[in-house]
Amino acid sequence: MASAEIPLAPAKANSKPRFPILSFISNYFLLFLAIVITVILVALITWFGMHPLRPRCTLGKFYIPTLDKASNATQTVNSTAISIELSFWNRNTEKKVYYDKVNMTFSYYYGINNGLSIRIGNTSIPPFHQRYLRTKDHVETIQTFGVPWEDVRMKISNGSTTPAIFRVDLETHVRFKNGLWKTRRHELRLGANFTVNDHGRMMSVDNGLRLHTIF
Ligand SMILES: *[C@@H]1O[C@H](CO)[C@@H](O)[C@H](O)[C@H]1NC(C)=O
Ligand SMILES: *[C@@H]1O[C@H](CO)[C@@H](O)[C@H](O)[C@H]1NC(C)=O
Ligand SMILES: *[C@@H]1O[C@H](CO)[C@@H](O)[C@H](O)[C@H]1NC(C)=O
Ligand SMILES: *[C@@H]1O[C@H](CO)[C@@H](O)[C@H](O)[C@H]1NC(C)=O
Ligand SMILES: *[C@@H]1O[C@H](CO)[C@@H](O)[C@H](O)[C@H]1NC(C)=O
Ligand SMILES: *[C@@H]1O[C@H](CO)[C@@H](O)[C@H](O)[C@H]1NC(C)=O
């Protein structure tokens, strides 16, 4: 029995590290590796989990020449069209925005007190995408239909106490791309009321009229 114990002795001696410095380094290396991996994971989770910001949309111009008392447009053809300038702003840093077809509708409130409105024009913008921190401007002329011109002219005339209120509505879906994949589609429904003056223009608003989310 005693002779059998002898071979165990060298094994015991082997369990001590032959070069203690290597074990010391490898322990610190593992710790270092763990810290690096944790930092990378936290960074990735923060990056991909960051909630994307909805794009902002601003109506920069709305003009109906036929309502402009200073213009001769009343005589020109198609003067009843609306010229618009709309801009989309991707506020995200590092996230691309993919827009589906954007449907846009313009309405006129003929009954302000009871909120009655009619659709006077619509258009759509084909799908597009936008890099981060970019602004895209959309300029277009839209043909109007069914505008009660007399009612509008009365309201914008000097002395009228009721303003001429128009409205813009926008509807689309957006996806965000974080560098690797696109998110699911998010609904984007925006709109805003505005007043038109006797020059056929939207009353000036600093930096354009910001469209608000409709829930
Ligand atoms: C409007 O008409 C007047 C006279 O008919 C003319 O002198 C003027 O140039 C016209 N303005 C524009 C913008 O066409
Ligand atoms: C004027 O409007 C009519 C429809 O209302 C359209 O068919 C025509 O192309 C327009 N003309 C111009 C020059 O935009
Ligand atoms: C727009 O104006 C109409 C008429 O005053 C009102 O009924 C409606 O609630 C307004 N909408 C918004 C978003 O302000
Ligand atoms: C405007 O709306 C009508 C009715 O919904 C639709 O048929 C038409 O395609 C729209 N026009 C544009 C340019 O989106
Ligand atoms: C509006 O009418 C008043 C008088 O009723 C006049 O004093 C004023 O100059 C007019 N304003 C404009 C912009 O025409
Ligand atoms: C935009 O309008 C088209 C029809 O013209 C419709 O198929 C599509 O679903 C609309 N998009 C949104 C977001 O409402």
- 82-135 pLDDT, tens digit each: 999 999 999 988 899 999 999 999 999 998 888 899 999 999 999 999 998 899
**Measuring from atom 1 of ligand 4, which residue has the nearest CA?**
122
Contact 120, 104 (CB under 8 A): no
Point out which residues pair with 168 in neighbouring strands. Answer: 106, 192
How many angstroms does the Cα of residue 26 sit away from the middle of ligand 5? Answer: 87
Residues with Cβ within 8 Å of 186's Cβ and at least 6 positions away in sequence, in order, are: 52, 54, 173, 174, 175, 176
pLDDT 10s digits, 132-180: 889 999 999 999 999 999 899 999 987 788 899 999 999 999 999 987 8
Residue 24, phi-psi category: left (phi > 0), alpha (psi -120 to 50), beta (remainder)? alpha
CA distances (Å), origin 65, targets 47, 70, 121, 201: 48, 9, 15, 8
- Cα-to-centroid distance, 80 and ligand 1 (Å): 18
Most informative mutation of 66, 76, 77, 123 for ligand 2 (most atoms within 8 A of CB): 77
The 8-class DSSP code of residue 93 comes to S
